Amino acid sequence: MNQTQQRDIRLIVLFRSLSFVGDEIALFALMVHFAHSNQHWMIGALAFANAAPPVLLTPIAGLVVDRVPTRRLLGYLGIFQAVIVLGLVFVHNSYGILALIVLLGCGVAFTQPGYGALVAHITPEEEMAKTQASLQSVGAVAGMAGPAIAGLIYGQFGLSFAFVCDGISFFLVGVATFFLHHDRRPAPISSAEKQRGQVMAGMRWLFGDPLLRPVVLETMIFVFAIDLITVSEVVLITRTMHASSTVYGLVGAAYGIGIVLGSVLAGKLRQGDMNIVRSLMMGTVLIGGAFTIVGWLPSVGWVFPFMVVGGIGNGIANVSAQTLFALRMPEAIRGRGYAAIGAVFTGMSLCSMAFGGVLISVLPARTIFKIAGLASLGAVLFFGPLALRQAKRATQGA
């Protein structure tokens, strides 16, 4: 990786981490605000309003990212999102807030595949795992630091100041994007006929690649299981094990630390499809095994080491999957490819959270942990051999 590539990747990692923290601050402050206002329905509505647009706008967003210069698109989107967040300062009606969150999610529908495509375009193949590990690590750190900072800001300065902080982070990210040396400038399509059938090219690639197909199906089950645990974790820790909310927060921090450790380990991945697939399957086994065991533990003190192990597995699996996607994705459809990846896995998360909300009302939290852990292990047992077989063929054919 040359100096300008290193500079741009470091800049992207830096301002993406700033954006992640800003988002965590605003979202956490909003959820606390509505919890204190006895508008509990708004908490779920906020999560849906933020996550649904990237799924629904997948065909349009991916095509736009593949048709316009990425640096300019991301820069203007950052400024647009800053204006939307600062608009939340002046809106106090619940439905008005939801509308602005939907608009913010529409921006995410474009920035998510945009940054994914730009990073993959800049990064040499031999450095891809290391770069994906850096992005995964800053996301995990933001997930841990954001709520703590948000609690302090909300308690001391109120909800509006949390929005100002997030708005500033978006503005800085947008401006910083214009200072990148590298840009992704796809060749424009000359006629409408050539665009026909191109909208869903990302989905066709994702499920048409013989190696990625079993990997995607295995990862979909993994994501569904993880979000089932996210819904039931608070019940297991605070009700079943009778721990305090502080301990619940510490359990989440232990998991976040594990993700960072797993991401760092995965960043040292050896090249080759076979090694990456093995790493992905190993990460899924770690997290599935850890969560299955957590479902049997007698008290919260035993949970911490297994949450660290589960986090390590999550970090390894995520970095491995993102590296594999980036390396096998054709340059011409990277926008649509990353939009498809985001839509599939965000869609699974939404379904899982909805299903988990129903499941926790009829099953004990321990049982849900066991089901989710065993489902992850079962996915590896079923799809792992298929993925490894295809990886071996890809390696032999290279």
pLDDT mean by block of 10 residues, the chain; 398 residues: 89 87 83 73 80 88 92 95 94 90 93 94 91 88 78 83 92 94 75 56 92 96 90 88 85 91 89 91 96 95 96 96 94 92 92 86 93 96 95 79
Q: What angle do CA 311, 314, 319 make, to 5 degrees?
A: 130
Cβ proximity of 395 and 238 under 8 Å? no
pLDDT attached to residue 87: 93
User: Are 218 and 96 contained in the same domain?
Assistant: no
User: Are 274 and 168 contained in the same domain?
Assistant: no
Examine residue 141 and state whether it is found in any structural domain, yes or no.
no
Q: Is the dihedral of CA 292, 297, 299, 304 positive or negative?
A: negative
pLDDT attached to residue 199: 67
pLDDT attached to residue 344: 94
Cβ proximity of 306 and 336 under 8 Å? no
Examine residue 239 and state whether it is found in any structural domain, yes or no.
yes
User: Are 386 and 353 contained in the same domain?
Assistant: yes
User: Are 345 and 384 contained in the same domain?
Assistant: yes
Examine residue 19 and state whether it is found in any structural domain, yes or no.
yes
Rounded Cα–Cα distance for residues 317 and 133 (Å): 11
- CA 24 and chain centroid, separation: 13
User: Are 81 and 209 contained in the same domain?
Assistant: no
User: Are 165 and 245 contained in the same domain?
Assistant: no
Examine residue 133 and state whether it is found in any structural domain, yes or no.
no
Q: What is the CATH number of the domain that holds 96?
A: 1.20.1250.20
User: Are 37 and 153 contained in the same domain?
Assistant: yes
User: Are 205 and 61 contained in the same domain?
Assistant: no
User: Are 246 and 293 contained in the same domain?
Assistant: yes
pLDDT attached to residue 193: 39
Examine residue 139 and state whether it is found in any structural domain, yes or no.
no
Rounded Cα–Cα distance for residues 183 and 121 (Å): 8
Question: Residue 297: how many CB atoms within 10 A of its CB?
Answer: 15
Examine residue 228 and state whether it is found in any structural domain, yes or no.
yes
User: Are 174 and 208 contained in the same domain?
Assistant: no
Examine residue 242 and state whether it is found in any structural domain, yes or no.
yes
pLDDT attached to residue 28: 78
Rounded Cα–Cα distance for residues 84 and 388 (Å): 45
Q: How many domains are contained in the chain? A: 2
Examine residue 272 and state whether it is found in any structural domain, yes or no.
yes
User: Are 56 and 88 contained in the same domain?
Assistant: yes
Rounded Cα–Cα distance for residues 289 and 369 (Å): 10
User: Are 73 and 112 contained in the same domain?
Assistant: yes
Structural domain boundaries, residue 369:
201-397
pLDDT attached to residue 40: 65
Reading the block at residue 162, the tokens are 């949390």
Q: Name every residue whose Cβ is closer than 8 Å to that of residue 319 and which is 6 or more positions away in sequence.
A: 129, 132, 133, 136, 262, 263, 266, 267, 269
pLDDT attached to residue 146: 76
Reading the block at residue 105, the tokens are 């999610």
